[in-house]
């Protein structure tokens, strides 16, 4: 079942084609929202709360209004009639979930630093920025809650009407007695507490929006740096009251999102409201420091993770209890993010008893929501850290404890205790290859040598085996989770009269390379050059149906839909060829771009000729519609489950606490790869994003709810200089779920990497008696842990001092 | 990220720039490479009324030497200093330090005069100039004067430069062949040092020079370390005095106590690497 290489195909599928998108992106030809020339557009400036929790008193707009180029300053009261409804939360995870009303402009209270309290409308971006500083808001500061456990105590209640900061408690506990029994009878028990710090997504392009009204037509075009033009269109109708058939949403070139642009934001709705109110275009471009507080953040959890195991280290039960940080409000899918990991706290291991519980709490911080991996990195982190703790307790090697617990290859498709069906998997080959890539035995020997020599630079080797559920799709499964939308994807493929092809994709790229990959899928099936395929997307007027891009769904849902639509036009071409070549349809075969009568190669026509025949419609079978085009809306029967094993090697400088990543290997399996170069790019970026959580990144709030690192000078996104060249390899285990056998790979790198790095760090420091360190492993944090361990009674290093 | 309104003027010569500074007083700020000033303006932490752009005064960009002294023009870009063969031979510490500042874009735009005039205790160059016992040359309406590096940095983002003075060049005693080292501790290659140490093992009366980056409100000389080395202490004993007289800052990256510890470790490493 598992192959070691993507099978060679005759065509474009599997080729390392350079990306079609790159020439225009790299030359500046591609236009992002801020590049758009929109005559007559007014600029919006957001007056934001500098307090995490404050009552809003009077707002004095007179000085701002007196400034040159300032048209209006609008408060919550001024915009009260602009809203048909509150901002959407599309994922009410429980019947009794508590959700505060959330409007684009705060009225009575500001609930986080960055909450919008007034909107400046001005002739230029500069005038808007100057006027924002001139609006005087009388804030009455209130005590703020930042710490999750403090928030859960309700010492300070943020939303008066709710009476509590606890939004919901969601439980997945198929057999509580079995879990209790497993823990009671366990030979080994592990109980660990992990903190998932908040992260700032930091897309290359901050957000931007421009609303262009049709004054007489009543229509509204919204340009937005969004991952979800289709979902946004529905929400503009529901929230702003513009009839949906009058709304068009365009996502022009979008510079990354990592989930942060999978949302409906206040600024988008404000732009629409102002454009309607004034009858002129209204636009706003987010600054980088604004982005840090005004765009959603990721992670933010405290995890209590427990394992029960028998004497050999075979896991008999998993119990995970979470407190998850919602931030000040529920954004589009905020409450559901931790639950995307709810089913994966046993990871790649065959576990018979399972309990998961998550309580979502409000804090006076920026709302959280989807960030690369969304729930699954947190789950993988917990189980992959905990199994290392178990290995230390049992006294077996990190690789061996995993082998003892992996789901056996012959159990796939595997029905998990948490209720999922893992489509396909074969876990040990990835582990074996990853260990070989770093020469695991040699590393272990070097580690031992350094320890015996008493060297101060400690080597640590960390493993992480992951599986994730992605390709967010089955609409009925999403319904069972109370998710407010379906999970299908739409694609149209049309061969034009002259034989070139247009693909209309419902899934919307923001950097991934959809145009290249969809071209490869179509060209491979049609036997044509990928350059003859153009992919249209990201405009609801061009691509009316779509569910957009998140959850590593583009390829296993949208790409599969593209392949299915291509198959449909091949079937139609066969019918045209059979008619014109006077053969039975069953006797037509499609080979090398030609439709041939089986056994009579001279009777053939290229598929391009059938497209022209379909266009003229002069000689088609009776009842056939003209044009060679087909639309497919695909709703898969299951998620897909990519997997792999990562190995991180770190060096810890005992004197300074500095941690250096010296080697990294990843063996991932996403089934057949459409374009291995793009897969590698996703893995490089994804891995470094996870490494960044382990070593560098954190949204650092002080006790009053101020973000202390709202700039890229202080928020440490790593560069190429901080990471070694990553060693990649892969196995190929096709998914039986879809016709292409493909699985998503956009989030896998991030899911696998943070625990590998932290396991490596603990592996390096375990001889000093250190078994836990919070992320990120700042040098001072590591150094302090070493000092504390030295001071502890019976410390390992004590006799040497 | 949008600066407050400001006027912009370009000076064609040093004298013209000095004239503009004298005329506009506190309202004016010199713009050279813009890599310290513009970020502060975008955050509206700096609000100059008028910028006097000196970036195109061509005769202030040079690295020259007569064997005893290396002279570096104030508008020399970090990259040009880092890749100067003369600097690499005669003041190798300085050339190396210039190559560690920021990232390639910063090194191609930022100027050494701008960096020094900013007086940031977290900058690398001042600590190198302190260790090398360099002299800065400034020109104002009253003419030219020389200021020892030790006298130049006087407080947080504060220098001995008068409001109507311009740094024109830096003079560094040539020290070919002596031991030197730069220890820069940071979390990302492009960042400011959390703590940095410069060391030059010059002999003669002055003795070894050791500078500290980001250990107080201004660039510092590790006077205790230098004194210990002059009196023949071991490297370990000298390094133990690295944090004497410092008041290290407290930020997300490091507490004062941790910075003191780092200074001691890094001074020891620098001295060992320099061959003390």
Label residues B233-250 b or e (16+ Cβ within 10 Å = b): bebeebbbbbbeebebbe
CA B97 – CA B119 distance, rounded (Å): 16
Average pLDDT (A340-366) is 98
Residue B131 binned pLDDT confidence (cut-offs 50, 70, 90)? very high
CA A309 – CA A294 distance, rounded (Å): 44
Residues of B in contact with A716 (CB under 8 A): 187-188, 191
Residues of B in contact with A133 (CB under 8 A): 44
> What torsion do the CA atoms of A208, A214, A220, A224 make, to the nearest 10 degrees?
-20
pLDDT at residue A800 is higher than 60: no
Listed by number, the residues of chain B in 67-126 with a beta carbon closer than 8 Å to a beta carbon of chain A are 103
pTM: 0.96
H/E stretch holding B270: helix B256-274
CA A547 – CA A559 distance, rounded (Å): 13
Q: What is the pLDDT of residues A11-42, one digit of tens each?
A: 899 999 999 999 999 999 999 999 999 999 99
pLDDT of residue A7: 45
Two structure tokens written together for A557: 């849902």
Cα–Cα distances in angstroms (integers) from residue A109 to residues A62, A87, A140, A161, in the given order: 22, 16, 9, 12
CB contact under 8 A, A778 and B187: yes
**C-alpha distance from A723 to closest chain B C-alpha (Å):** 10
pLDDT of residue A792: 84
Label residues A235-258 b or e (16+ Cβ within 10 Å = b): bbbbbbebeeeebbbbbbbbbbbb
Half-sphere exposure (Cβ direction) of A559: Cα atoms closer than 13 Å:
34
CA A198 – CA A693 distance, rounded (Å): 9
Mind spelling out the 3-state secondary structure of B216-256? CCCCEECHHHHHHHHCCCCHHHHHCCCCCCCCCCCCCCCCH
Residues of A in contact with B44 (CB under 8 A): 133
Q: Which residue carries 């195909």 as its tokens?
A: A9
Q: What is the pLDDT of residues A762-773, one digit of tens each?
A: 999 999 999 999
Q: What are phi and psi of A42, to 5 degrees?
A: -95, 150
Query: Cβ of B185 under 8 Å from any chain A Cβ?
Result: yes
Listed by number, the residues of chain A in 704-743 with a beta carbon closer than 8 Å to a beta carbon of chain B are 708-709, 711, 713-714, 716, 718-719, 721-722
Q: Which residue carries 């898969």 as its tokens?
A: A636
**C-alpha distance from A428 to closest chain B C-alpha (Å):** 35
pLDDT of residue A6: 46
CA distance from start to end of chain B: 47
Q: What is the side-by-side order of every strand in the sheet holding A533-536?
A: A533-536, A501-505, A489-495, A628-634
Average pLDDT (B222-227) is 97
CB contact under 8 A, B252 and A784: no
pLDDT at residue A634 is higher than 90: yes
CA A538 – CA A552 distance, rounded (Å): 17
pLDDT of residue A601: 84
Residue B204 binned pLDDT confidence (cut-offs 50, 70, 90)? confident
Residues of B in contact with A778 (CB under 8 A): 187, 253
CA B114 – CA B97 distance, rounded (Å): 16
DSSP three-state, residue A197:
strand
Burial label, A445 (beta-carbon count in 10 A; 0-12, 13-18, 19+): exposed
User: Measured between CB atoms, which of A655, A718, A780 is closest to B265?
Assistant: A655
Average pLDDT (A178-182) is 98
CB contact under 8 A, A287 and B44: no
DSSP three-state, residue B109:
helix
Nearest residue on chain B to A721, alpha-carbon basis: B189
Asked whether A231 and A485 are in contact (CB, 8 A), the reply is yes
pLDDT of residue A793: 77
Nearest residue on chain A to B254, alpha-carbon basis: A780
DSSP secondary structure string for all residues of B152-163? HEEETTEES--T
* Angle of the A398-405 helix axis to the A427-438 helix axis, nearest 10: 170
| Average pLDDT, rounded, for chain A | 96
CB contact under 8 A, B2 and A780: no
Q: What is the pLDDT of residues A90-126, one digit of tens each?
A: 999 999 999 999 999 999 999 999 999 999 999 999 9
Residues sharing a CB contact under 8 Å with residue A470, sequence separation 6 or more, in sequence order: A376, A551, A552, A553, A556, A639, A640, A641, A642, A743, A744, A746, A747, A748
pLDDT of residue A10: 53
Average pLDDT (A312-317) is 98
Closest CA to B74 of B6, B7, B144: B144
Residues of A in contact with B123 (CB under 8 A): none
Two structure tokens written together for A794: 């019976």
Residue B58 binned pLDDT confidence (cut-offs 50, 70, 90)? confident
Q: What is the largest CA-CA distance in chain B?
A: 57
Mind spelling out the 3-state secondary structure of A43-91? EEEEEECCCCCEEEEEEECHHHHCCCCEEEEEECCCCHHHCCCCCCCCC
Cα dihedral sign for A564, A568, A574, A580? negative
pLDDT of residue A718: 97
CB contact under 8 A, A714 and B252: yes
Residues of B in contact with A718 (CB under 8 A): 188
Closest CA to A384 of A369, A401, A372, A367: A401
**C-alpha distance from A684 to closest chain B C-alpha (Å):** 18
Residues of B in contact with A782 (CB under 8 A): none
Nearest residue on chain B to A653, alpha-carbon basis: B265
User: Measured between CB atoms, which of B4, B253, B262 is closest to A130?
Assistant: B4
User: Measured between CB atoms, which of B103, B188, B262 is closest to A716?
Assistant: B188
Nearest residue on chain B to A784, alpha-carbon basis: B258
Nearest residue on chain B to A695, alpha-carbon basis: B187
CB contact under 8 A, A287 and B1: yes
User: Measured between CB atoms, which of A133, A289, A708 is closest to B252?
Assistant: A708
pLDDT of residue A3: 57
DSSP three-state, residue A352:
coil
Average pLDDT (A689-712) is 97
Closest CA to B228 of B173, B188, B268, B265: B268
DSSP secondary structure string for all residues of A228-283? -HHHHHHHHHHHH---GGGEEEE--S----TTTTSS--HHHHHHHHHHHHHSS-EE
Residues of A in contact with B187 (CB under 8 A): 695-696, 716, 778-779
DSSP three-state, residue B35:
coil
CA B171 – CA B173 distance, rounded (Å): 7
Half-sphere exposure (Cβ direction) of A400: Cα atoms closer than 13 Å:
9
Nearest residue on chain B to A698, alpha-carbon basis: B252
Q: What is the pLDDT of residues A532-556, one digit of tens each?
A: 999 999 999 999 999 999 999 999 9
CB pairs under 8 A between A and B: 56
CA A555 – CA A507 distance, rounded (Å): 9
ipTM, interface predicted TM-score of the complex: 0.96
Q: What is the pLDDT of residues A220-269, one digit of tens each?
A: 999 999 999 999 999 999 999 999 999 999 999 999 999 999 999 999 99
Nearest residue on chain B to A699, alpha-carbon basis: B252
pLDDT of residue A799: 41
Asked whether B196 and B214 are in contact (CB, 8 A), the reply is yes
CB contact under 8 A, B265 and A130: no
| Average pLDDT, rounded, for chain B | 96
Question: What percent of chain A is predicted at pLDDT more than 90?
Answer: 96
pLDDT at residue A797 is higher than 70: no
CA A114 – CA A295 distance, rounded (Å): 9
What are the percentages of helix, strand and coil residues in chain A, rounded to 5? 35, 25, 45
Query: Cβ of A325 under 8 Å from any chain B Cβ?
Result: no
pLDDT at residue A464 is higher than 80: yes
Residues of B in contact with A287 (CB under 8 A): 1-2
CA A755 – CA A314 distance, rounded (Å): 20
Residue A291 binned pLDDT confidence (cut-offs 50, 70, 90)? very high
CB contact under 8 A, B1 and A718: no
Two structure tokens written together for A791: 């001071």
Q: Is the peptide bond before A776 cis (omega within 30 degrees of 0)?
A: yes
pLDDT at residue A796 is higher than 60: no
Query: Cβ of A778 under 8 Å from any chain B Cβ?
Result: yes
Q: Which residue carries 């809203």 as its tokens?
A: A83
């Amino acid at each position: 079942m598992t192959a070691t290489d993507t099978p060679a195909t005759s065509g474009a599928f599997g080729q390392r084609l350079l990306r079609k998108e790159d020439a225009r992106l790299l030359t500046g030809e591609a236009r992002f929202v801020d590049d758009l020339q929109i005559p007559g557009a007014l600029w919006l400036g957001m007056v934001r709360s500098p307090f995490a929790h404050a009552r809003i008193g009077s707002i004095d707009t007179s000085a701002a209004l007196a400034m040159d180029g300032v048209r209006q300053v609008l408060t919550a009261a001024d915009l009260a009639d602009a809203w048909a409804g509150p901002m959407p939360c599309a994922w009410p995870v429980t019947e009794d979930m508590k959700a505060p009303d959330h409007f684009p402009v705060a009225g009575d209270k500001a609930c986080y630093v960055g909450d919008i309290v007034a909107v400046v409308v001005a002739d230029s971006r500069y005038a808007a920025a100057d006027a924002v500083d001139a609006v005087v808001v009388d804030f009455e500061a209130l005590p703020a809650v930042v710490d999750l456990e403090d928030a859960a105590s309700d010492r300070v209640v943020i939303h008066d009407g709710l009476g509590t900061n606890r939004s919901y408690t969601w439980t997945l506990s198929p057999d509580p007695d079995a879990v209790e029994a497993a823990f009671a009878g366990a030979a080994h028990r592990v109980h660990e507490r992990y903190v998932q710090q908040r992260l700032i997504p930091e897309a290359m392009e901050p957000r931007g929006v421009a609303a262009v009204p049709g004054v007489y037509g009543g229509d509204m075009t919204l340009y937005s740096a969004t991952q979800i033009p289709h979902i946004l269109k529905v929400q503009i109708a529901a929230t702003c009251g513009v009839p949906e058939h009058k709304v068009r949403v365009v996502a022009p070139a979008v510079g990354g999102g990592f989930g942060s642009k999978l949302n409906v934001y206040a600024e988008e709705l404000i732009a629409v409201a102002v454009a309607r109110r004034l009858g002129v275009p209204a636009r706003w471009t987010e600054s980088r420091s604004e982005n840090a507080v005004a765009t959603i953040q990721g992670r933010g959890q405290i995890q209590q993770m427990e394992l029960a195991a028998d004497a050999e280290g075979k896991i008999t039960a998993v119990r995970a209890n979470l407190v998850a940080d919602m931030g000040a409000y529920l954004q589009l899918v905020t409450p559901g993010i931790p639950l995307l990991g709810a089913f994966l706290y046993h990871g790649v291991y065959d576990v018979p008893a399972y309990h998961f519980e998550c309580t979502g709490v409000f804090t006076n911080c920026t709302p959280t929501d989807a960030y690369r991996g969304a729930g699954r990195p947190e789950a993988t982190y917990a189980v992959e850290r905990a199994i290392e703790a178990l290995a230390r307790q049992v006294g077996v090697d990190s690789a061996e404890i995993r082998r003892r617990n992996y789901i056996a290859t012959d159990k796939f498709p595997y029905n998990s205790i948490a209720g999922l069906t893992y489509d396909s998997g074969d876990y040990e080959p990835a582990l074996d290859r990853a260990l070989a890539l770093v020469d695991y035995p040699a590393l272990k020997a070097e580690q031992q040598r350094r320890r015996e020599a008493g060297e101060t630079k400690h080597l640590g080797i960390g493993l992480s085996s992951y599986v994730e559920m992605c390709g967010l799709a089955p609409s009925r499964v999403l319904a069972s989770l109370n998710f407010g939308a379906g999970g299908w994807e739409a694609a149209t493929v049309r061969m034009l009269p002259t034989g070139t092809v247009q693909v209309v994709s419902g899934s919307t790229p923001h950097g991934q390379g959809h145009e290249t990959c969809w071209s490869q899928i179509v060209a491979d099936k049609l036997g044509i050059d990928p350059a003859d395929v153009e992919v249209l997307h990201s405009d609801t007027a061009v691509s009316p149906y779509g569910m957009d891009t998140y959850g590593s769904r583009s390829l296993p849902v949208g790409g599969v839909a593209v392949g299915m639509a291509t198959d449909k036009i091949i079937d139609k071409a066969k019918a045209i060829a059979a008619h014109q070549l006077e053969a039975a349809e069953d006797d037509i075969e499609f080979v090398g771009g030609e439709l041939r009568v089986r056994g009579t190669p001279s009777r053939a026509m290229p598929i391009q000729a059938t497209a022209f025949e379909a266009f003229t419609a002069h000689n088609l079978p009776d009842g056939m519609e003209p044009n060679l085009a087909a639309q497919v809306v695909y709703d898969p029967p299951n998620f897909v489950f990519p997997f792999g094993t990562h190995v991180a090697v770190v060096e810890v400088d005992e004197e300074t606490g500095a941690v250096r990543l010296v080697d990294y290997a990843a063996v991932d399996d996403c089934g057949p790869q459409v374009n291995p170069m793009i897969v590698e790019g996703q893995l490089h970026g994804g891995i470094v994003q996870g490494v960044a959580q382990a070593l560098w990144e954190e949204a650092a709030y002080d006790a009053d709810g101020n973000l202390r690192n709202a700039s890229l000078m202080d928020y440490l996104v790593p560069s190429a200089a901080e990471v070694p060249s990553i060693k990649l390899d892969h196995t190929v285990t096709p998914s039986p779920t879809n016709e292409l056998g493909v699985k998503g790979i956009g989030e896998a790198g991030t899911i696998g990497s943070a625990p590998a790095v932290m396991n490596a760090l603990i592996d390096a420091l375990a001889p000093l008696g250190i078994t836990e360190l919070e992320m990120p492993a700042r040098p001072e944090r590591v150094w302090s842990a070493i000092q504390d361990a030295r001071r502890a009674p019976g410390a390992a290093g004590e006799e040497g001092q | 990220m949008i600066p407050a309104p400001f006027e912009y003027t370009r000076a064609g010569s040093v004298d013209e720039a000095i004239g503009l500074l004298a005329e506009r007083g506190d309202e004016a700020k010199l713009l050279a490479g813009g890599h310290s000033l513009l970020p502060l303006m975008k955050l509206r932490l700096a609000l100059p009324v008028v910028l006097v752009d000196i970036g195109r005064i061509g005769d202030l960009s040079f690295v020259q030497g007569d064997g005893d002294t290396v002279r570096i023009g104030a508008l020399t870009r970090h990259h040009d200093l880092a890749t100067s063969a003369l600097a690499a031979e005669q003041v190798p510490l300085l050339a190396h330090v210039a190559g560690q500042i920021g990232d390639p874009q910063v090194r191609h735009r930022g100027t050494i005069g701008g960096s020094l005039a900013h007086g940031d205790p977290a900058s690398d160059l001042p600590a190198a100039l302190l260790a090398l016992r360099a002299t800065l040359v400034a020109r104002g309406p009253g003419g030219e004067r020389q200021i020892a590096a030790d006298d130049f940095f006087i407080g947080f983002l504060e220098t001995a430069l008068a409001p109507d003075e311009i740094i024109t060049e830096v003079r560094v005693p040539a020290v070919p062949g002596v031991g030197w080292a730069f220890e820069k501790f940071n979390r990302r290659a492009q960042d400011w040092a959390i703590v940095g140490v410069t060391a030059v093992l010059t002999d003669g009366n002055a003795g070894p020079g050791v500078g500290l980056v980001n250990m107080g409100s201004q660039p510092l000389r590790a006077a205790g370390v230098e004194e210990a080395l002059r009196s023949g202490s071991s490297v370990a004993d000298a390094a133990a005095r690295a944090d004497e007289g410092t008041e290290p800052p407290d930020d997300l990256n490091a507490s004062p106590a941790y910075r003191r510890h780092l200074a001691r470790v890094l001074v020891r490493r620098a001295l060992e690497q320099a061959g003390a």
